[in-house]
Structure 1
Amino acid sequence: MVSRMFRIETGDDKDRRDLLRKRLRDTNTAASPILRALRGTPGERELPLHIWALDETGALAGGLVGHTWATWLHVTYLWVDDLHRGTGLGSRLLSHAEHLSHQERGCLNSRLETWDFQAPEFYKKQGYEVVCVIPDYPPGVTEYTLTKHLP
């Protein structure tokens, strides 16, 4: 008989977080044909992707942080310093990430989230399409999820 008594706790616990993530990933892999097909291949692993742009003094001018997993590039952060906005640096960072992800990691698509006050129009110009809109997240702001098929 399975116990129905549970103790609920809160708090940061890296070991439990990692165990939960592993178990969720195992469950998802078992339920998904593409994830089962990727099992044991480089595409199964979530690999970080960090790209940095440094100015002539070595200071951070911009960067992109994301990861690749299951034939997708997920752009988590893309930032360009105010001094360098409008120079094409953001486009270059994004294009470089897409190229590396496609050519070296076999990614077929890219996804990202942005808020209405950030850069949805920038991403649309880069070929991204809005697939989800969440109004009032956070309050007074709209969040967009965009995707792009990588050539």
Structure 2
Amino acid sequence: MWGRTELGLLFLDMFFVPGHLRGKSYGTRLLALVEVEARRRGCSRAVVETSSFQAPRFYARHDYEEFGRVEFGIGGHARIFLRKHLE
């Protein structure tokens, strides 16, 4: 996982849990810790982008909402932009 905080925003640039560790709440717990740290740093929102075949449902389960989408034009996939209010 890596990202940055700036301008009052948490930018989650890469968030990945290896396949053999998925389904064990590691991703949920790590995301919660990152959001706590972002709040501590004064962030009021989080922003993440993912592909439609990756993790949009994971983020939706954690109250992230889609605010943009760019269709790839092949395979019916898209790049999805999500945000969450942290306050």
TM-score norm. by structure 1 comes to 0.55
1:76 has 2:34 as partner:
no
Instruction: Report % sequence identity.
Output: 34
Of 49, 71, 82, the residue aligned with 1:113 is 49
Question: Which one of the candidate residues 62, 67, 71 is aligned to 1:126?
Answer: 62
Partner of 1:45: none
As a proportion of its length, which structure holds more strand?
A: 2
Structure 1 unpaired stretches of 5+: 1-63
Q: Secondary structure at the match of 2:49?
A: strand
Cα RMSD for the two superposed structures: 1.1
Residue 67 of structure 1 is matched in structure 2 by: 4
- Runs of at least 4 residues off by over 2 Å: none
1:112 CA drift (Å):
0.4
2:82 is equivalent to residue 146 of structure 1: yes
| Secondary structure in structure 2 of the residue aligned to 1:80 | coil
Aligned residue number for residue 85 of structure 1: 22
| Larger RCO, structure (CA 8 Å, separation 6 or more) | 2
Q: Equivalent residue of 1:144, what SS?
A: strand
**Which of structures 1 and 2 has the bigger CA Rg?**
1
| 1:42-70 CA-partner distances (Å, limit 9, x unpaired) | xxxxxxxxxxxxxxxxxxxxxx2000000
